[in-house]
Amino acid sequence: MSVPIVEIRGLTVAYGGDAPVLREVSLSVGRGETVAVVGPSGSGKTSIVRALLGTLDDSSARISGTILVDGVEASARDFAALRGTVLGYVSQDPFGAMDPIMSVGTNISQAWRIKRRTVPEGRIVADLTAVDIADAESRVRERPFTWSGGMLQRGSVTTARALDPALVLADEPTSALDEANAHRVMAALTAGDAALLIVSHDRRLVEKYADRVYVVDEGTVVESTSSAPVVAASVSMRKAVPAAAPILRAHGVAKRYSTGGGLAATDLEVRRGEIVGLAGPSGAGKSTLLRVLAGVEAPSAGRLVWDGRDGAPPPGEVGVVFQNAVGSLDPRRPIYRSITEPLKPRLRSRLSRAEALAITATALARVGLAAVDPGRLPRELSGGQAQRVAIARALVGDVRLLLADEPTASLDEASSARIFEILRELADEGLAIVIVSHAERTLRELADTVVRVDAVQDRPTGR
């Protein structure tokens, strides 16, 4: 039997005085093999990927166990040299993976330049075209903020494969993609001779592409199998009976960016007690529409009417769950401070620490995080936990409208079903909700109304 590309033996990781996030984990990935790691949100899956990349926080982490690459034990210094050439990486956070001040093409080119290599002529455009980025030759000159989360995630895939590594580590690489593009990305990741270790909540993709599956629960590998023993959670929602008058109307709202892309003219109404779903392919402008509805960005055309008055909802009456949940939390603040931040300044200034912790505990319990310490920093959470913290924060205060951008993208199916149940309960209590999701079949079961969003078709000239 050939030596595995990577092998983990008895890996245990703990932070500070907390219980270990990984306990005696052992796994391996062979050449050309696709291995999946699945399990509930917060079970330790991302910590396995960080261990293989050598990026665990040594200052606060207690680490034991052995990691071998090609049969040789690797140190933290070894991993720095292996990243990019032997080990490629697709981050769970596509927004944080790219420098916002550089173009997308320049970002991707760093994979070669950081290793002092020449970028092959036409390679970046060809790789982006292979993962279905339309008009890639022009779009590589755009800044990351003009790309959707799904497009950025596909850009991260091309970066990870740039130097043809022997193994690609992919942490939720399809969480921001619609079903068709998810399959295109998985086909790109599994093409060629490279092995793949994928962390995923997508049961169907794991069943289709993985050769072996490790099931992780509470930091321990509880099962290793050749098929994915993941049971789909059903989502069956009672439809609300919304009030007659819409609380928010969008009339022909459109957004165009000078660098390209944007949102085609869209009409939308949402009532108290109603869930409106936004569907459409990655890059269609769904996240752009949410930012316009929230008043974060002004529309290029059209108008909004909030509660009978022209304009976007006033601050304090709209809660937003951004697609980049991890990036929306202040990395320097404990999560209780992030969660209580939306409270009105006068109320927030009078809160004692004990009162803030009590409010936070209630909010966390609503999204299934009752056991999480409110004093933790965002970096001590899994991606799925951070996403639920972002949802909890959006519900604090006198919110009348909730705008949620892919609120379950990093959650396992059971946790996703619970979040959908919470959203349905909130709507039935009178909250107006607009939700973006690439899982259109689930969206149609959850939402009272589904609006399809189309991308701007024409491109800027003179590029």
**How do the domains of the chain map onto residue ranges?**
6-225, 246-452
Tens-place pLDDT, residues 173-226: 887 677 777 887 888 888 778 899 999 887 788 888 999 999 998 888 887 777
Average pLDDT over residues 143-163: 87
pLDDT score for 387 = 80
Which H or E run contains 78? Answer: helix 76-82
Domain 6-225 superfamily per CATH:
P-loop containing nucleotide triphosphate hydrolases (3.40.50.300)
Residues in the chain: 463
Q: Is the dihedral of CA 85, 91, 94, 96 positive or negative?
A: negative
Statement: residue 324 has pLDDT above 90: no
Residue 361 pLDDT greater than 80, yes or no: yes
Instruction: Indicate the DSSP class of residue 143.
Output: -
Residue pair 253/292 in contact (Cβ under 8 Å)? The answer is yes
Count CB neighbours of 122 within 10 A. Answer: 10
The stretch 293-303 carries a mean pLDDT of 92
pLDDT at 113: 93
**The pair of three-digit structure tokens given for residue 53, joined into one six-digit string:** 């990349």
Do 313 and 360 meet the contact criterion of CB atoms below 8 Å apart? no
Q: What is the CATH number of domain 246-452?
A: 3.40.50.300
Domains 6-225 and 246-452 fall in the same CATH topology: yes
Residue carrying structure tokens 């949102």: 263
3-state DSSP: the chain helix, strand, coil percent, rounded to 5? 30, 25, 45
DSSP labels for 354-418? HHHHHHHHHHHHHTT-TTS-TT--GGGS-HHHHHHHHHHHHTSSS-SEEEEESTTTTS-HHHHHH
Q: pLDDT tens, 13-49?
A: 887 777 888 999 999 999 989 999 988 877 888 889 8
pLDDT category, 402, cuts 50, 70, 90?
Answer: very high
pLDDT band at 61 (very low <50, low <70, confident <90, very high): confident
Lowest mean pLDDT across 66-75, 224-233, 313-322, 331-340 = 224-233
Beta strands 432-436 and 275-279 are: parallel
